[in-house]
Amino acid sequence: MKKRITSMLILVFSLVLVLVGCGNDKASNTQKQEKKDKEAEAVSGASKTSYTPYEELKESYDIIIVGAGGAGMTAALEAKAKGLNPVILEKMPVAGGNTTKASSGMNASETKFQKEQGIKDNNDSFYDETLKGGHGTNNKEMLRFFVDHSASAIDWLDSIGIRLNNLTITGGMSEKRTHRPEDGSAVGQYIVDGLLKNVQEKDIPLFVNADVKEITEKDGNVNGVRVLFNQTDEKAIAAKAVVITTGGFGANMEMIKEVRSDLGDYVTTNQAGSTGDGIKMIEKLGGTTVDLDQIQVHPTVQQDESYLIGEAVRGEGGIMVSAEGKRFTNELDTRDKVTAAINELPEKAAFLVFDAGVKSRVKATDQYKKMGFVLEGETVEALAEKMNVSADELTSTLETWNSAVKNKDDQAFGRTTGIDNDLSSAPFYAIKIAPGIHYTMGGVKINTNTEVLNKEGAPIPGLFAAGEVTGGLHGENRIGGNSVAEIIIFGRQAGVKSAEYVKAK
Q: Both 407 and 282 in a single domain?
A: no
Domain assignment present for residue 4? The answer is no
Q: Is 335 a known active-site residue?
A: yes
Q: Both 411 and 451 in a single domain?
A: no
* Cα-based distances in Å from 289 to 55, 151, 283, 293: 37, 29, 8, 11
What is the mean pLDDT of the segment spanning 455-468?
98
Q: What is the pLDDT of residues 368-391, one digit of tens each?
A: 999 999 999 999 999 999 999 999
Q: What is the pLDDT of residues 274-314, one digit of tens each?
A: 999 999 999 999 999 999 999 999 999 999 999 999 999 99
Amino acid identity of residue 6, one-letter, is T
Q: Both 107 and 235 in a single domain?
A: yes
Whether the predicted pLDDT of 490 surpasses 50 = yes
Q: Both 235 and 316 in a single domain?
A: no
Whether the predicted pLDDT of 31 surpasses 60 = no
Range of the domain at 108: 56-294+441-504
Q: Both 109 and 210 in a single domain?
A: yes
Question: E strand or H helix at 365, and its extent?
Answer: helix 364-370
**Domain containing residue 332: CATH number:** 3.90.700.10
Domain assignment present for residue 28? The answer is no
Q: Both 245 and 157 in a single domain?
A: yes
- Per the DSSP assignment, residues forming a β-bridge with 207 are 89
Cβ contacts of 181 within 8 Å, gap of 6 or more:
163, 164, 166, 187, 190
| Residue 126 backbone phi and psi in degrees, to 5 | -60, -45
- From 177, 327, 335, 415, the catalytic residue: 335
Q: Both 290 and 301 in a single domain?
A: no
Task: Give pLDDT, residue 284.
Answer: 97
Total structural domains within the chain: 2
Q: At 50, is the pLDDT very low, low, confident or very high (cuts 50, 70, 90)?
A: confident
Rounded-to-integer distance, Cα 322 and Cα 201, Å = 49
Q: Name the domain boundary from 389, 413, 437.
A: 437
**Domain containing residue 96: CATH number:** 3.50.50.60
Q: Both 256 and 319 in a single domain?
A: no
Task: Give pLDDT, residue 410.
Answer: 97
Q: At 505, is the pLDDT very low, low, confident or very high (cuts 50, 70, 90)?
A: confident
Q: Both 405 and 261 in a single domain?
A: no
Q: What is the pLDDT of residues 166-218, one digit of tens each?
A: 999 999 999 999 999 999 888 999 999 999 999 999 999 999 999 999 999 99
Higher pLDDT, 186 or 490: 490
Whether the predicted pLDDT of 23 surpasses 90 = no
Give the CA count within 13 Å in the CB-facing half-sphere of 131. Answer: 15
